[in-house]
A and B are shown apart, each in its own frame.
Chain A
Amino acid sequence: MAAAPYRGRRMVAALVLLSGFALILFRLFNLQILQAAELTVKADRQHRKAVSVQGPRGSIYDRHGKVLAINMEVPSVFGVPASLDDPSGVARDLSPVLRVRAGEIEKKLKQERSFVWIARKLDPEQGRRLERMPLGGIGVVMEGQRFYPKGPLLSHVLGFAGMDSQGLEGIERRYDPSLRGEKQMVVLQRDALGRTVFPKGLHEQAPSAGHNVILTIDEVIQYIAEKELEEAVTATRAKGGIVIVMEPRTGAILAMAVNPRFDPNTVQAISADRWRNRALTDTYEPGSTMKIFVAAAALEEKVMEPETLVYGENGRMVVAKTVIHDHDKLGWMTFAQVIQRSSNIGSVKTAMALGAERLYRWLRAFGFGERTEIDLPGEVAGLIKEPRDWERRSLASIAIGQEIGVTALQLVTAVAAIANGGWLMKPYTVSEIRDEKGRVVVQVSPQVRRQPISPESVHTLSKILEGVVTHGTGSKAAVPGYRVAGKTGTAQKIDPKTGAYSSHLSVGSFVGYVPAEDPRLAIVVVIDEPQTEAWGGVVAAPVFRRVAEQALQHLGISSQEPVKLAMTTSSEMARP
């Protein structure tokens, strides 16, 4: 048999193979059955990685969908000092990209730590350059960064978000629960190389993004208000100022400018004092603008009529052993003229005719001494004492806007109530909240708080306030082609050193609305501590005019007056 000599060999081969398989089977049995439980846990630990993921923060838009705040992923660089062989070499390579001195980076990399941030929140271009550099022990992660692409525009209203995307001021703070992205633990499966693998059997769902917030603010009107305010503050060398533009019919805020401004992109470098939205966190003594509400009360209570004659005492009157002055020696004048010429004495007499209780009730009715409940954080109620706490001079003082603290927002809200026929509205800055797919989550509608005054009295008062601009102290607020109603205010400030009214520190203001016959804009202008001139009619009224003029044009509100057309030359007209 020729096969015989091979039989032994075949047996050996078979034996070797069999024992090999047996070994494998044994190992398999060992791994898959005996150690199965323990190893599964081990493997899972290596394959799966649980990470906390947060959906991106929602954006903030103006009323026309212009982006005012948006999130963007930007690179941050970290180092693992333990796995670096040549820290100084790596530092030299990183230095030009990060624009940080090599020495500083090296110092960080030589620390006895397992993880160290080298630079956080760089710009995307730097990230792309880093990705192209093969550096061991250095890693790049993406972090969400808040951007305010318009810089300082609307900064006091927008506020800002912190390093960890939490809203800290303004809209960012008030609407943080809506803006904030959903936080979720996500289990990722990784393969042997550490790449993420599609997880089997797991429903994968990314955490949803935060909601988008749409404001009532009009970016262009906001810009106009900020620009004109800035110019006025510079020209009068004032400490600062406020402009608020409101839609009287709804209470929607179209613009809210606070000067000096700040850039929310570089907020770390700015003191907290600059962030405050002083339009609603700070009160001031309004001065003569208060006369509007004294007049409103007098008209509604039928204490005065526009033609009622009031004697001006030739500009000097003694009340509670103190002297009240007028800027002019005024004699007999009508009640309308009291307001139009801003007579302190006439206003004090009106308040006396009303009496303390009624005056107080009326000022409260117009919202002074209580929050307007605007949807922004930090609002104060202002200060108005109850009549039982008044001193002998208080009635007279309050009649001319002293001994009372109001916010610019309260003032414009109250004036808007006169503009819209008597409805005190709740001011608001957010009109809509939408989810990431654009579906409306919250729709804000205008809210009436109350109707403090009848349409008839409003009509009469509005005529008087138009007179302030046509032939009174507010002539510089006149907008050609439109009827403007409003009131100037000049208030002395209390000198913090002496506790008495200062002779050189003042607040000049103008508050009014336009067009008077169908008001579309209520505007307040407050100039704080102007150095060149104190009068509200001089420092604030022109700002009102310039803001109103441009805003009316932007909104396409046409003039009611006939316009003379100056024709251009025929050659120019003929051109196609």
Chain B
Amino acid sequence: MKTLIVIAAMGLLLLYVWERVEIVRVGYQIERLKVKKVALERERDELQVKLSALTSPERIARVATEKLGLAPPQRGQVILVNVKPEAPAHGEPAMPDVKLARNEPVGKVP
């Protein structure tokens, strides 16, 4: 009986120690993950800054005209077709405006 109690006490003690060790271990793990999270967030922000700098209308216009030889559409090249919203055929949603572009070279294309 006595031995059983001693063994149980030892077991409890070990459990307690194991628990403490585990808390510390997981604590370190959490810290490592936090550091990783911060690094990933940093990378995300960095990429977002890059993305929005690369998609700035000024840059897109420059690349389109200088590198790709595109030109802004001239008058009459884009025709917006206005579909009257008051006549939706049998409850179908009204068609949105449709953009049509004609293929017609404008100016010189390098």
Chain A contact residues, CB within 8 Å of chain B = 66-68, 70-73, 124, 142, 147, 149-151, 153, 195-198, 200, 219-220, 223, 227, 480, 549-550, 553, 556-559, 563, 565-566, 568, 572
A147 to B82, CA, bound (A): 41
Q: For the A-B complex with A151-B58, A196-B31 known, give 8 more contacts whose Cβ atoms are closer than 8 Å.
A: A67-B48, A73-B45, A150-B58, A198-B31, A200-B23, A200-B27, A227-B58, A553-B73
Contact of B52 among A66, A223, A480, A563 (CB under 8 A): A66
* Contact assessment for B81 and A153 in the assembled complex, using a CB-CB cutoff below 8 Å: no
Query: At the interface, yes or no: B10 with Cβ under 8 Å from chain A?
Result: no
A494 to B10, CA, bound (A): 97
| B residues 56-110 in Cβ contact with A at 8 Å | 56-58, 61, 72-73, 75-76, 78-82, 96-97, 99, 102-104
* Contact assessment for B81 and A72 in the assembled complex, using a CB-CB cutoff below 8 Å: no
Q: A66-B52, A67-B48, A558-B82 are in contact. Are A223 and B28 (CB under 8 A)?
A: no
Query: At the interface, yes or no: B53 with Cβ under 8 Å from chain A?
Result: yes
- Min CB distance B27 to A, Å, is 3
Q: A70-B49, A70-B52 are in contact. Are A197 and B81 (CB under 8 A)?
A: no
Nearest residue, chain B, Cβ from A206: B34
Q: A151-B56, A557-B80, A558-B82 are in contact. Are A566 and B28 (CB under 8 A)?
A: no
Q: A151-B58, A223-B57, A568-B102 are in contact. Are A559 and B28 (CB under 8 A)?
A: no
| Main DSSP-derived SS at the B contact region | helix
Q: A198-B27, A198-B30 are in contact. Are A153 and B45 (CB under 8 A)?
A: no
Q: Which residues of A contact B28 (CB under 8 A)?
A: 195, 197-198
Kindly state the interface size class of chain B when it binds its partner.
Answer: 35 or more
- Min CB distance B47 to A, Å, is 10
Q: Can you list 21 A-B pairs, Cβ within 8 angstroms, ordered by A? A: A67-B49, A67-B52, A70-B52, A72-B42, A72-B49, A73-B38, A124-B42, A142-B42, A151-B53, A196-B31, A198-B23, A198-B27, A223-B58, A556-B96, A556-B97, A557-B80, A558-B81, A563-B79, A565-B79, A566-B102, A568-B104
- Min CB distance B66 to A, Å, is 15
Point out which of B27, B53, B57, B82 has the most chain A C-beta atoms below 10 A from its C-beta: B57
| B residues 7-59 in Cβ contact with A at 8 Å | 23-24, 26-28, 30-31, 38, 42, 45-46, 48-53, 55-58
Q: Which residues of A contact B51 (CB under 8 A)?
A: 67
- Min CB distance B61 to A, Å, is 8
Q: Which residues of B contact A556 (CB under 8 A)?
A: 80, 96-97, 99
